[in-house]
Amino acid sequence: MEHYNMNLTLKVWRQKSSNEQGYFETYQVRDISSEMSFLEMFDVLNEQLIKENKEPIAFDHDCREGICGMCSMYINGKPHGPWHANTTCQLHMRAFKDGDTIVVEPWRAKAFPVIKDLVVDRTAFDRIIQAGGYISVNTGNAVDGNAIPIEKDKADAAFAAAMCIGCGACVAACKNSSAMLFLSAKVSHLSLLPQGDPERKSRVVNMVAQMDKEGFGACTNTGACEATCPKEISISNIARLNREYLTSSLTAEK
């Protein structure tokens, strides 16, 4: 693959806190390698700003391996940028060309208030997970992986749902800022496995209630969440969530 350098114009959202007005700031970066990751390019920009005695741009990152879900950036109108099934940290600068202008924003959702610049507060997701409670399985000695027989199609579907990294791209892509894809992945993962069965009814009811409490919007099945999810979580999980919720609501003990 041909390696090349490029000069770019960056229009980056700057915001000191959730209580202050935000604005776009324009920056020029030069000699950016096509083999850099998008976050490495931001590291270069921040080094440049620090040398100029300016405030560096705040952005979230941790693993830089597409696992942690922290690298939430809205790039040229798309969560995580132009590549399909990709996180921002795995996006490389060869996705752009010399002279491009790149617009970078934080997630836009009421439930994800801006902390600073490109960093948003996604603890609403944590509270939804906490609302699901515990799983009452024996956590003593390790058991044989084949001790509980599980049909392969269910196991595959559970693992596919468990791929969700909680990055929030689904919320950012949705016109309603719905968290249904995220929640459905978490509910599906456990509802498909026998280990999740004892708390199955209370889990889905409590998690949906917490999602509504956090202020996420309703799902209108446009599919934008599935199209932008870096782990390709299927919206079929949303149908499963709806079934789980309806069944649990109708059969809940009064």
Q: Does pLDDT of 231 surpass 90?
A: yes
Are 141 and 92 contained in the same domain? no
Residue 45 lies in a domain: yes
Give CA–CA dist 202/207, Å, rounded: 8
Can you tell me the mean pLDDT for 244-249?
94
- Asked if pLDDT for residue 254 goes beyond 60, the answer is no
Task: Report whether pLDDT(137) > 80.
Answer: no
Yes or no: say if 64 and 39 are a contact pair by the CB < 8 Å rule.
Answer: yes
Can you give the residue range of the structural domain that contains 236?
A: 123-251
Cβ–Cβ under 8 Å, residues 186 and 128? yes
Tell me: pLDDT of 70 over 80.
yes
| pLDDT score of 1 | 67
Beta bridge partners of 23: 14
Supply the CATH number for residue 56's domain.
3.10.20.30
Q: pLDDT at residue 162 above 60?
A: yes
Does the pLDDT value for residue 253 go beyond 70? Answer: no
Name the residue type at position 201: K
**Positive or negative torsion for Cα 201, 195, 185, 158:** negative
Mean pLDDT computed over 238-242: 97
**Residue 110 counted as domain residue:** no
Mean pLDDT, range 6-18, rounded to an integer: 97
Residue with tokens 């059969």: 251
200 & 235 share domain: yes
- Number of domain units in the chain: 2
What is the helix (H) or strand (E) element at residue 27, kind and residue range?
A: strand 23-33
161 and 127 in a common domain:
yes
- Structure tokens that stand for 184 in this block: 């459905």
